[in-house]
Structure formats: C-alpha cells, structure tokens
Amino acid sequence: MPEIHNIKLGITNCYLIKENDKLMLIDAGIDGKEKRFEKRLHALGYNLNDIDILIITHVHFDHAGIAAWLKERSRLKIIVHKNEAHILSRGLTPIPAGTNFFGKILNILGNIFNFLFRVKATEADIVADKLMPLKELGFSASIIPTPGHTEGSVSVLFDSGECFVGDCCISMFNKKDVFPPFANNATELLKSWKILLDSEAKSFYPGHGKVISPMVLEQSYRKNKNRF
C-alpha cells in the first residue's frame, strides 16, 4: 500500500504519494501557495527534487496553480490528459459550467473575475490518452480518463484500491451527495462515476473534502443518474 500524505493548499487536496522509492504528486494547488507547499514537503522529510512525477487531474486554477513553479525547480515530469495539455501550455483557466444554482452563480462570477484565477503556463512531459499504466514509472497504479467535470479529467487508481479522483466527485459541501457543483458534461461525468464504481477502488480521494467510500459514491450515483 502506498504512503499517502494530503498537502492541503487553500481549498485543494494535493496528494503526495510514496511507493517503494518513488514519489508522486497528484495536483498542484493554487498560485501563491508555493512556500506553504515547500514547507509541508520539508516537514515530511522531502525536497522538491525528490518528486518524480506530477499528475494534474485537470487544468483548473486550483489544481495546476504551482505546476510551472514546481517544474522550474525540480526534475519532476508533468503528466496531463491530451485534451488539456494545450490549456496548460497556454496558461488558460477555463471556468466549468455549474450543475446547481450555487455552481451556476459561481460560474458567472468566475468568468467576470477570471483574472484572479491564474495558472502559469508550462509544458506537459507526458500526455495521457487512454488508460495508462504507471508501472514503467515505478508505481503500481494506472491513470484512468474520467471526463465530465472537464474534458480531460483523469483519476489515478492504485492496484491496492486507493483512487485519486480530482473534481470527479467532491465531498466539501454535502458529505452524502458528492456530485460536483461544476461539470462541463454531467452525462459524461455520470459515465465516469460508473467506471469508478466498477473498478476495484476501495476509497476515493477527492480534490476537495474528505475521503469518499464506494457506498457513498454508489448512493450519489443512484440519486443523480436521472438528473441530466
């Protein structure tokens, strides 16, 4: 089983995962949180140069904020889905569509104040497309495309059952219904949920909020599957 540390940057969970002698970071928080990240990393006994790979679950300002900064200071390789590599290389920060009233209001505000949500442009080293085993990079895990929140959203599933899902499901506002308040394609998102439910995953680690059990995801799936 991998060793999992949650480095919280603002509202975002960034997961530092150690397996054997390899170090993976899932998501790179928010612009301006660089020093906090480095401090937490040092407290765990690591340096920037110890990180082997950074997997960005999707290129939103709260998941790719310090990616460029990390890449400039370390040897890590950035992995993103092919549908979002161009967003990262242009430093764009699209705001996804709202799936409920709250999300719709935030989408409007987000588009007005778009300049506040920054991602510094950087290049991906590895572009994922379909299911991608990470064995060659030293991890007993795979990248699974789980689109819906964004077109190029991915999850990372370890063979031991831990699954890191980005904003595919979140447990921040409502612990019982983990449907995210934003999704560009809610129907696709529900299909991705089915993929996650049919996987061997034992627990889902979201980009926001606490760890989600398969039972809670299943109940949320049943509640939302006919909504869209």
According to the binding rule CB under 5 A, does residue 98 interact with Zn ion?
no
Binding region for Zn ion (CB under 5 A) out of 32-40, 48-56, 121-129, 199-207: 199-207
Beta strands in the chain (DSSP E): 3-9, 12-19, 22-26, 53-55, 77-81, 126-128, 132-133, 141-145, 154-158, 162-166, 203-206
Task: Note whether 68 and 90 are within 8 A (CB).
Answer: no
For Zn ion, which residue of 33, 60, 71, 81 counts as binding (CB under 5 A)? 60
Kindly state the smallest distance separating residue 63's Cβ from Zn ion, in Å.
Answer: 6
Kindly state the smallest distance separating residue 47's Cβ from Zn ion, in Å.
Answer: 27
- The 3-state DSSP class for residue 101 equals helix
Within 10 angstroms of residue 17's Cβ, the number of other Cβ atoms is 22
For Zn ion, which residue of 19, 62, 151, 162 counts as binding (CB under 5 A)? 62
Nearer to Zn ion, 31 or 62 (CB): 62
Kindly state the smallest distance separating residue 51's Cβ from Zn ion, in Å.
Answer: 20
User: What radius of gyration, in Å, describes the C-alpha atoms of the chain?
Assistant: 16
According to the binding rule CB under 5 A, does residue 151 interact with Zn ion?
no
According to the binding rule CB under 5 A, does residue 167 interact with Zn ion?
yes
Nearer to Zn ion, 18 or 99 (CB): 99
Binding region for Zn ion (CB under 5 A) out of 16-24, 125-133, 187-195, 207-215: 207-215
Cα–Cα nearest to 63, from 15, 14, 22: 14
Can you name the residues that pair with 205 across neighbouring β-strands? Answer: 164
Site residues, Zn ion (CB under 5 A): 60, 62, 167, 207
